[in-house]
Structure 1
């Protein structure tokens, strides 16, 4: 299980949403007939939201599971994606790469789960308005996770998260106005007990 399957970037995508409401639980399943395997990814992983329930620069952590044709689990992971809009083109993105980390403090800091990135990718677009240049940066990464670690997240009552890239880090919820979306941990719970635990 510790061996992370090559080519997991098939589950990465660049999210271009300008605003994101707190996500409801859902999954997307894709079948690769050449490899005889399926990838099921959760889509309800918006991390934090402001008092209106909106994050203008959305960040998501979505677990996924890859199974072979016999429904045996090949690999587990968590896909991170975040959009940031800045007025400078250098050094503001996380720059997630191999060895970057995502640390989850669970149950008011009584437990901890640390994940490490298998790889990462950055994309960005540039726009100009009223003599100011704006850069939209899309940071994406895939973090390996074990079934035991995913179960800890699924069963947790509270969570705080730090995602650390090669350039910088960011904590969730973002202070001072944001809070963890109420559905975040329940969505992990549903994903683990519906998509992972029955196949272990």
Structure 2
């Protein structure tokens, strides 16, 4: 980061809605010349019913999918933990060899390396769903393919539709969902500083953060 980029917040107060990465995000804001405030807005909640994950595993093991797109490291760890409650770990990992694994970014890639899961495609930065579509088109891995997508909390309708528009059959796999934090205090205080006009920049990394902010804010005088 050069000196010009390092000061691009120029002393502005920046409120981040990040949760799990709240501290690293605050450090990045400060490094960029901003005053960092944090209002965690989400928590990851595993699904109580893993029956769909078990059905998906049976399909994966049977070789039903040409590609398995991993959108999140947390999701992959949660999926593996859920499957290992019913199947031996060796059997679970062997099923991943029946498909080509596509990783969206460094977090799912790190989990794959830790578990010795072979990776066929690594998506380039900035690791968004647009880059996934672009590289799959480039590698001719869309038309006529059966693609499973391990989602991250909330379904990305644009991404799934993009896969289908490219000629793929898509199977979403959901293993956890987003919920509000158990302690809403920091988020409520963040809303108050926004209403007082003390924040110049709101920093969101996912649409769910926006939804949760508006949900907690509600109608106010």
Q: Which has the higher contact order (CA 8 A, sep 6+)?
A: 2
**Hey, which of these two has a bigger chunk of helix by percent?**
2
**Hey, which of these two has a bigger chunk of strand by percent?**
1
Which has more radius of gyration? 2
TM-score by length of 1: 0.28
